[in-house]
Every structure is written in structure tokens, then in C-alpha cells.
């Protein structure tokens, strides 16, 4: 993609230089009357090239405002209407992304670390962010997703992965400063590999001439999920409202759990000591009522008339934990799509 864009730009420039030089030479060589014709033609060609380039940029994604611009109200509405049961994450994400995107001179890239139980919406929210920054959403050439087990499966190849990953990030940020990098299954990523991306997350003005300050890095993991669940369960047992849970009730506990857990990929990485993660964002385990909402949303997404009864049936089919209380969905809102097929 970078090559195509660069080639397009180069072609335009070469064409322009050749044409202008030719016009000037002709103008010098022949009568003054033809000079004005040549100048006129050169001006017309310049206009044509500019229009041609704009038309190209209109149809082909490029690193310009037409394709990359933050829609704050869009993100706010999406978080409110589409993301269920995640009041803490919604609030922090909106604040973090808005603050960063509105800042003309950020001192570092935005680094978000999303934690929580499976199926609670971490990937989903990343998609909502992408859709409200990039016109093409997740399909944008400036959004890059890595899944540890798929992209970096062999611990013995870590040195090779490091080089490839660093080159990939550098190349893509050189091509477009406003790039989004998503690292899924961060807890399964080799600590050495996590450390290798550290320089890009830091406060440097530039590294070898490339500035990473406009980019966004999002880490997703289940690390901390058990602690988050414990805290939410305590709230539930005490008869407190889930909506009264605040970031401060979870943040410290989660970051300690994530970085002190030897099983977590974050263990002993320098991200924490250097304070390079801007926000730790907890995702709460989902309850029956949220699963029901997910089923209704899935029906709407499929163009089916929402059926409350079918939604209750699908939600009831899911498994809930802990064993005695059965409050939280074991798989969150994952797998409801398959279950819904039996009811429609």
C-alpha cells in the first residue's frame, strides 16, 4: 500500500517536472507569443494533475483528513448504544481517545491496555474506535492487528519476530503517522517482544527521523480478568449497584495483578516501570441481562425483528459462574451467534 501511494505521488511529480521543463525550453526557444501559450498549457496541466491526484485520493485510501478524522460524537453514541455493561471502560475510552485526538502535539503515542474476561467486548470496542477514526474502520490500511498465537507462535523465533515487528511498525508509521496497532492476546506475547516495541511507546520526539507520537497502540488481554470478576462479585454480594463501580476500584488491583503475575506476558517488561501505558481499562464480566442485550443486538444486525422471548431463551442457554451464584456469563457475549441460529 505504501509503495502504491509513493509511486502515485512520484508519477505525478515526475510528470509535472518533465512537462514544466519541456514547456520552459520550448518557451525559450520559440517566439514570445508561443511563450504565453506554453505557460498557459503548463498551468492547465498543473491544474489537471492536482485534480487527478485529488480524484485518486477520493477513491483510494490515503493518510489524509478525508480518510482519517476523529468522530467524537460517533464514538460516544456507539459506546452508549452498542457496548453493554461496560460503563467504566466506555467512560475511560471516550476520555482517552478524545483527549489524544484533539491534542495537536501529543508527547507520546496513546497506549491503552484493555483487560477482562473473555467475550466482554475488548475486540469489539477496538472496532468501534477504528470505525470512528478511520473511514474504512478495521479494513483501513492504517489499522494493524497482531494476534500473539497466530503472528508470533514460536518462542524460539523471538529474535526474528522482534526485527520484523520493529520494521513493520517503523515502515507503517513512516507511511502514516496516524496508525493504529492492536495487539491481541498480549498476555501470551513473549516479554522480549513486548520490550522490543517499548521505544515506540516512549516520549521520544523521533527515532531515526520517525515520530510515533500520533499513533495509537491498543493491547488486549484476559490478564487481570479474575481479579476484576472478584471485585465485581463483591459489589454484587454487598447488594451494591454495578454502575457504582469506578475505575479507581479496579485500576490498581488490575495493574498489580497483570504485571506481578509470572504467567502474564507483561511480567517483568519495562512498560510498567516506564509508565508507558496511559490507561489500564477494565472490562467487567457480563451478566444475564447484558447477554440478552447482545442477542437482541445480533438480531437487529441480521435484519431480524428483535424477539424478546428468543433473546431470553438464548441468554438462558449460556453458562454462568461462580458455581453457586451463577451471575456472570462464562463466555460473555461470545458464541451467541451460533445459539441464535436455533431460535430463528
Nearest Cα neighbor of 256 from 270, 266, 243 is: 266
Say whether residue 224 binds ligand ATP (CB under 6 A): no
**Stretches 32-40, 141-149, 202-210, 331-339: which one binds ligand ATP (CB under 6 A)?**
331-339
Measured in degrees and rounded to the nearest 5, phi and psi for residue 118 equal: -65, 145
Residue 95 is labelled as binding a ligand? no
The C-alpha atoms of residue 105 and residue 245 are separated, in whole angstroms, by 33
Say whether residue 186 binds ligand ATP (CB under 6 A): no
Say whether residue 148 binds ligand ATP (CB under 6 A): no
When the beta carbons of 35 and 123 are compared against ligand ATP, the nearer one is 123
Whether the CB-CB separation of 318 and 291 falls below 8 Å is answered with yes
Residue 85 is labelled as binding a ligand? no
Whether the CB-CB separation of 74 and 94 falls below 8 Å is answered with no
The C-alpha atoms of residue 21 and residue 18 are separated, in whole angstroms, by 5
When the beta carbons of 111 and 336 are compared against ligand ATP, the nearer one is 336
Residue 122 is labelled as binding a ligand? yes
Of all residues in the shown chain, the one whose CB is closest to ligand ATP is: 121
When the beta carbons of 125 and 272 are compared against ligand ATP, the nearer one is 125
For 160, counting Cβ atoms within 10 Å of its Cβ (0-12 exposed, 13-18 middle, 19+ buried), the class is exposed
For 299, counting Cβ atoms within 10 Å of its Cβ (0-12 exposed, 13-18 middle, 19+ buried), the class is buried
When the beta carbons of 12 and 337 are compared against ligand ATP, the nearer one is 337
Smallest distance from ligand ATP to CB 95, Å: 18
The C-alpha atoms of residue 283 and residue 286 are separated, in whole angstroms, by 9
The DSSP output letter for 304 is: P
Residue 303 is labelled as binding a ligand? no
Name the CA radius of gyration of the chain, rounded.
26
Say whether residue 123 binds ligand ATP (CB under 6 A): yes
Smallest distance from ligand ATP to CB 249, Å: 19
When the beta carbons of 1 and 289 are compared against ligand ATP, the nearer one is 289
The C-alpha atoms of residue 217 and residue 244 are separated, in whole angstroms, by 29
Say whether residue 222 binds ligand ATP (CB under 6 A): yes
Say whether residue 266 binds ligand ATP (CB under 6 A): no
Say whether residue 245 binds ligand ATP (CB under 6 A): no
Smallest distance from ligand ATP to CB 70, Å: 21
The C-alpha atoms of residue 268 and residue 260 are separated, in whole angstroms, by 8
Residues 6+ apart with CB under 8 A from 341: none
Say whether residue 229 binds ligand ATP (CB under 6 A): no
Say whether residue 120 binds ligand ATP (CB under 6 A): yes
Say whether residue 106 binds ligand ATP (CB under 6 A): no
Q: Which of 106, 109, 119, 265 binds ligand ATP (CB under 6 A)?
A: 119
> For 178, left (φ over 0), alpha (ψ -120 to 50), or beta?
beta
Residue 105 is labelled as binding a ligand? no
Element (H, E) at 125: helix 122-131
Could you tell me how many residues of this chain bind ligand ATP (CB under 6 A)? 18
Whether the CB-CB separation of 118 and 226 falls below 8 Å is answered with no
Q: Which of 294, 295, 299, 315 binds ligand ATP (CB under 6 A)?
A: 294
Say whether residue 215 binds ligand ATP (CB under 6 A): no
> Under the rule (CB under 6 A), what is the footprint of ligand ATP?
82-86, 118-124, 222, 286, 294, 332-334
Q: Which residues are annotated as a binding site?
A: 116-123
Binding residues for ATP: 116-123
Amino acid at each position: 500500500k505504501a509503495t502504491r501511494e509513493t509511486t502515485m505521488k512520484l508519477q505525478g511529480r515526475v510528470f509535472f517536472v518533465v512537462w514544466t521543463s519541456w514547456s520552459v525550453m520550448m518557451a525559450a526557444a520559440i517566439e514570445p507569443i508561443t511563450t504565453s501559450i506554453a505557460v498557459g498549457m503548463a498551468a492547465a496541466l498543473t491544474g489537471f494533475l492536482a485534480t487527478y491526484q485529488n480524484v485518486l485520493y477520493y477513491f483510494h485510501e490515503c493518510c489524509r483528513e478525508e480518510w482519517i478524522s476523529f468522530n467524537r460524537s460517533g464514538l460516544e453514541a456507539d459506546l452508549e448504544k452498542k457496548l453493554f455493561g461496560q460503563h467504566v471502560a466506555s467512560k475511560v475510552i471516550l476520555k482517552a481517545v478524545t483527549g489524544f485526538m484533539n491534542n495537536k502535539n501529543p508527547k507520546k503515542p496513546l497506549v491503552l491496555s484493555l483487560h477482562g474476561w473473555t467475550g466482554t467486548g475488548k475486540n469489539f470496542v477496538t472496532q468501534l474506535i477504528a470505525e470512528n477514526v478511520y473511514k474504512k474502520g478495521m479494513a483501513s490500511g492504517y489499522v494493524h492487528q497482531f494476534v500473539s498465537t497466530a503472528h508470533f507462535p514460536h518462542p524460539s523465533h523471538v529474535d526474528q519476530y522482534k526485527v520484523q515487528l520493529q520494521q513493520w511498525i517503523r515502515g507503517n508509521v513512516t507511511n502514516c503517522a496516524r496508525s493504529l496497532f492492536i495487539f491481541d492476546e498480549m498476555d501470551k506475547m513473549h516479554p522480549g517482544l513486548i520490550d522490543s516495541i517499548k521505544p515506540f511507546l516512549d516520549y521520544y520526539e523521533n527515532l531515526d527521523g520517525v515520530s510515533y507520537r500520533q499513533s495509537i497502540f491498543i493491547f488486549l488481554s484476559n490478564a487481570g480478568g479474575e481479579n476484576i470478576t472478584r471485585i465485581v462479585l463483591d459489589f454484587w454480594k454487598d447488594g451494591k449497584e454495578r454502575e457504582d463501580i469506578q475505575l479507581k476500584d479496579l485500576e490498581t488491583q488490575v495493574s498489580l495483578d497483570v504485571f506481578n503475575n509470572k504467567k502474564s506476558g507483561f511480567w517483568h517488561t519495562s512498560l510498567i516501570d516506564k509508565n508507558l501505558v496511559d490507561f489500564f481499562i477494565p472490562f467487567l464480566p457480563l451478566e444475564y441481562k447484558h447477554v440478552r442485550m447482545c442477542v437482541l443486538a445480533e438480531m437487529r444486525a441480521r435484519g431480524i425483528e428483535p424477539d424478546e422471548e428468543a433473546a431470553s431463551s438464548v441468554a438462558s442457554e449460556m453458562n454462568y459462574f461462580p458455581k453457586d451464584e451463577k451471575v456472570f456469563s462464562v463466555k460473555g457475549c461470545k458464541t451467541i451467534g451460533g445459539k441464535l441460529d436455533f431460535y430463528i
